[in-house]
Structure 1
């Protein structure tokens, strides 16, 4: 493909009145597009990987063609049937005629457009349900979303020039999913009003994000995930936040000095506070009566013992613990979590022997021991044999223990020979 489309595609008007879907991909040298706004049945347009395309200007709308056909009407409809689009620019306006662009548009995807700096959101785009923007590094702003009351999914990924979320997002009363991934220039995410339908909020790998503020009550929020934000200093919750929140993941946020108040999160079923080196203590976990899946650590490296944590044991079935070099033992409270079916122990490099109380975890089905470089000894034969439901033992990157668990010849083998599946890597 050269720097222009074939002449028949650039003909005015384009003789494809029955066209329903148009895909233009990999046309990296082309800097302009054919006129397509007048096509009455066009429902899907995809424009991907056009590196030379800096904007979709008014010339693509076919305004003059539509105007001639609708001269006596008060409203001009451009792209009258379009439901899916990638990329564009504002349409022209007149003093006497109302212009509506994309009145039926439901999905807008903008991928791999490195030169685009601004994405307008016309007021006529009230039907928009999904907005997905990806790999647009020059993008610095997105038009207002005040009128997008039907928007359900907003996904913004790898847009390093973006410094703020679109204004008017609080008016997106139907928004269910907000996912922001790898936006390097984003420093703050805050909400000043309720998003009543929001179910899932994900913020991943925004390396300069310093503040996440959720001051308002989000009545439908079920999942909150914040990962890979090393400069994040605080996560602010309302004191009465979210009775529906079931999943909370905070991972690899080493700048975080304190955690949200867990006492109001009584519906929480899954909680992971992993890779947060600034955390020194854990409080409020005792109120999480419905907790089923818990992952903790590593925390502040100068701590010589795991922070005390008390969790109700009746529903907890999955536990992952990540240690750090100073720790020489597992947290004692684990021995009381007798409902556990799966236990994962990782990065306890100061640990040489697993405790005898491990045999108290009679419901244990899977035990994984990973990245414990100095671990040599399992609990006694008697303790291991009390784990009658254990059918999978995984030993991964534990060189000393791996050697001692060698089938038939290892010193620890008699302790685990009754286990149905033993994996050592």
Structure 2
């Protein structure tokens, strides 16, 4: 049974029959509301409410239309999410539509969603990412969404490409294409998104390359390419991203090299290259990344060496080389990393020695050398604790510093005693100990006694040289 559109007065007098399959109310311009009884149309397959310009809302009972396959209208209630059989949803030219309800994400059968010329649409709900069966392609008309700020297509596993019109979204700030596993390429027009701040391409496993135009994204701050396993290279234009702060290339297992132009990323703070198994070297120009704070090279199994320029990274705080099993040596320039706090060399199985300059890392808090099975020796170590005025005692673990040559305790005002074992800890090396204390107290006297016993222990070694200054 089919019912064609008529006047709104005719509709108001109409009592619905449960056998209706097609209800066409197209062009009922004065229609303001639908009766609750519409939810009794158990056989309704298609409902057309296009051009019902006065229609303000739909009744909640519309969610009871379990047989509905096609719905053409201009506004949606929360109960729309109950339409489990809905395959086709047309909202074309709904110029007043500002938002979609969260329940839209429950439309598991939805294959086609037309939002063309929805000029007031400001955002799509987070739940739209649940519509895994929905997106195989986006319409060209998506470029008409001039006010759109966020587009979330996360886990649209069938999406293979974006339309060229995507570049017309001048207001777009966030584009989430994460886990779009069939996405093979981005259009050149993506470089026109001048407002884009965040681009998520994580787990786009079929993505083989980025367009050169990506370098035109002047506002881009965060680029996530994590788990893009088919990505072999980055375009040279990547170096034009002057606002980029975070670049995630983790688990890009086919990535063999970084372009020299990466040195132009003056704002880059975090570079994640973990588990890039094919990466053999870093470009010499990487030393120009003056703002870089964190460099993660965890699990880069093919990485054999670091460039000398790494020592120019004055802002670097965290360097993770955990699991770089082919790394044979560190450059001498690593000692220039004055801001470095954490250096992870865990499981660097080919590393045989550390450079002498490692002792210059005055800010270093954590050095992890666990499971470096080829490490044969540590360089001579200088330990400077000068002006640590609250330091009351040395840790017992200082006994393990067998290569300690220079221990500076200058002006450690609160230090009460040296460990008795410190003499044996320094045995076998020419050791200079400088200890300056200020104040005349009993604690000082007892410290001198403790020092004296340490001196006696150290005197038994002909090679030990001790300089003690007490003010």
Q: 1:357 to 1:47 in 2, by over 3 A?
A: farther
Per the alignment, residue 201 of structure 1 pairs with 223
Once residues 280 and 48 of structure 1 are traced to their aligned partners in structure 2, the CA distance between those partners, rounded to angstroms, is: 57
Deviation at 1:337, TM superposition (A): 0.8
Task: Report the secondary structure of 1:122's partner residue.
Answer: helix
Once residues 48 and 88 of structure 1 are traced to their aligned partners in structure 2, the CA distance between those partners, rounded to angstroms, is: 16
Task: Judge conservation of contact 2:152–2:175 (CA < 8 Å) in 1.
Answer: yes
Deviation at 1:156, TM superposition (A): 1.5
Once residues 273 and 339 of structure 2 are traced to their aligned partners in structure 1, the CA distance between those partners, rounded to angstroms, is: 21
Q: Name which of 139, 152, 163 aligns with 1:143.
A: 163
Once residues 236 and 104 of structure 1 are traced to their aligned partners in structure 2, the CA distance between those partners, rounded to angstroms, is: 39
C-alpha deviations, 1:80-105, integer Å up to 9, x for none?
Answer: 2226776885759xxxxxx7225332
Per the alignment, residue 448 of structure 2 pairs with none
Q: 1:239 to 1:313 in 2, by over 3 A?
A: closer
Higher relative contact order (CA 8 A, sep 6+): 1
Once residues 30 and 352 of structure 1 are traced to their aligned partners in structure 2, the CA distance between those partners, rounded to angstroms, is: 74
Task: Judge conservation of contact 2:321–2:348 (CA < 8 Å) in 1.
Answer: no
Q: 1:348 to 1:111 in 2, by over 3 A?
A: same
Q: Does 1:80 align with 2:125?
A: no
Equivalent positions of 1:106-255 (< 5 A) are: 106-107=123-124, 109=126, 110-115=128-133, 116-120=135-139, 122-144=142-164, 145-192=166-213, 193-215=215-237, 216-238=239-261, 241-255=264-278
Q: 1:278 to 1:250 in 2, by over 3 A?
A: same
Q: 1:142 to 1:329 in 2, by over 3 A?
A: same
Task: Report the secondary structure of 1:137's partner residue.
Answer: coil
C-alpha deviations, 1:87-142, integer Å up to 9, x for none?
Answer: 885759xxxxxx72253322365424343311235232111111222222222122
Per the alignment, residue 337 of structure 1 pairs with 361
Moved more, 292-301 or 277-286: 292-301
Structure 1: which 5+ residue stretches go unaligned?
64-75, 93-98, 364-377, 390-425
Q: 1:230 to 1:46 in 2, by over 3 A?
A: farther
TM-score, normalised to structure 1, is 0.66
Q: Does 1:38 align with 2:71?
A: no
Deviation at 1:231, TM superposition (A): 0.9
Once residues 272 and 226 of structure 2 are traced to their aligned partners in structure 1, the CA distance between those partners, rounded to angstroms, is: 11
Task: Report the secondary structure of 2:191's partner residue.
Answer: helix
Once residues 403 and 250 of structure 2 are traced to their aligned partners in structure 1, the CA distance between those partners, rounded to angstroms, is: 36
Task: Report the secondary structure of 2:223's partner residue.
Answer: strand
Per the alignment, residue 319 of structure 2 pairs with 294
State the aligned residue count: 341
Task: Report the secondary structure of 1:294's partner residue.
Answer: strand
Structure 2: which 5+ residue stretches go unaligned?
1-20, 22-37, 387-396, 413-471
TM-score, normalised to structure 2, is 0.60
Task: Report the secondary structure of 2:258's partner residue.
Answer: strand
Per the alignment, residue 7 of structure 2 pairs with none
Greater percentage in helix? 2
Deviation at 1:276, TM superposition (A): 1.7
Greater percentage in strand? 1
Task: Judge conservation of contact 1:288–1:311 (CA < 8 Å) in 2.
Answer: no
Per the alignment, residue 266 of structure 1 pairs with 290
Q: State the Cα RMSD in Å.
A: 4.4
Task: Judge conservation of contact 1:48–1:113 (CA < 8 Å) in 2.
Answer: no
Once residues 269 and 307 of structure 1 are traced to their aligned partners in structure 2, the CA distance between those partners, rounded to angstroms, is: 19
Once residues 260 and 67 of structure 2 are traced to their aligned partners in structure 1, the CA distance between those partners, rounded to angstroms, is: 48
C-alpha deviations, 1:3-23, integer Å up to 9, x for none?
Answer: x9965696665998347999x
Task: Judge conservation of contact 2:305–2:329 (CA < 8 Å) in 1.
Answer: no
Q: 1:359 to 1:89 in 2, by over 3 A?
A: same
